[in-house]
Amino acid sequence: MACVDDVHETEYKCEFQLKYGVNPHQDQSHIWSMKDSSLPFKILNGKPGYINLMDALNAWQLVKELRESLNVPAAASFKHVSPAGAAIAVPLSDKLRETYELGDKELSESALAYIRARNADPKSSFGDFAALSDTVDLSTAMFIKTCVSDGIIAPGYDDDALAILSAKKGGKYIVLEADADYKAPDVEFREIFGVVFSQKRNQLLINEENSLQRIVTKNSEIPSGARRDLILAAIALKYTQSNSVGFALDGQMIGVGSGQQSRVDCVRLAGGKALVWYLRQHPRVLGLKFKKGTKKVARLNARIQFIEGEFTPPEHKAWALNFDEVPEPLTSEEKAEFLKKFRGVSLSSDAFFPFRDNIDQASRFGVSYILQAGGSVQDPSVIGACDEYDIAMALNGIRLFHH
């Protein structure tokens, strides 16, 4: 079929050169904007690279959509063009404050959102690109100062926050100011191997009205907090490499499974991360006695290793150096007992579940609520599996593949 809309033929203008592309040997890399347009961001500090900007632009779209849909400050922690975590500003329980090592410090809503996003999968967030939907204040900047992070994008910065962030990494921390009023073109273009693709941008705003009206299970009760979490997870997946499945609880992602060819593998991957997130709150994990002077990142990694418990002899030797007295392993029985309380998790999928094994696996990870597209010939079997586990599931007919 011939192209019928010549108005979408486009030209680009070169804005600036990058140090290199995705890899150092891919030189001659540049950033271009659309003809008669401008970039949707300004560089306030640092020198961004190719991957930095891919992360920044996807992360900014994610938090902007969360803000618009849920009307609460939002944040994301991106690595390699998928969110390690995303969240909105919801107050933290005393247990999570202890788990996240926050003490009793006062936190702004933006700080709450980023702290939650960063703690979905903190191991993966190491060296992230942060995104905030609202102006970055001192509270948020002070937390980011303590994190290993490459850069940030937000619509604005208080003067004291900008000064702190601009000094990070010896003055090389990347600070981008997003243009909150920027309107992206309706049609987007992408070139692969000399072939140019074009399509209408995915401009559909995910919200309760278009996503949670068709509950198909015997259990039709989805409380307000779970409805919020389902929308949060769905919006996060809209900007996650497919296939993808996300777990959310209390206003934050707690596990993202992305880029898998098999959807049930996404469930297992995201579920495994969710279990680690929950087990970080186990009394024995919180009670680990570290040597004086052990750094924050080392404490975090040691706790996760303690939970996972899968050491080679050299790994165990290095791990044991964090403690004056090496703790006894966290047993399978202790984990299982603690995980009995793990309930109320919301799961969203970027496309339909092709088989009931996705539900069988989800049931292992505290899932009580599901949002997915539906439309598979296996829908009756999948719905039946949800009924067996008393899971409430909504179908919205919206596929959210992202590549």
Q: Indicate which residues carry an active-site annotation.
A: 79-80, 243, 403
User: Which amino acid appears at position 314 of this protein?
Assistant: P
Nearest to 211 by CA among 191, 186, 228: 228
Report the amino acid identity of residue 251.
G
- Burial string for 90-106 (b: 16+ CB within 10 Å, else e) reads bebeeebbebbebeeee
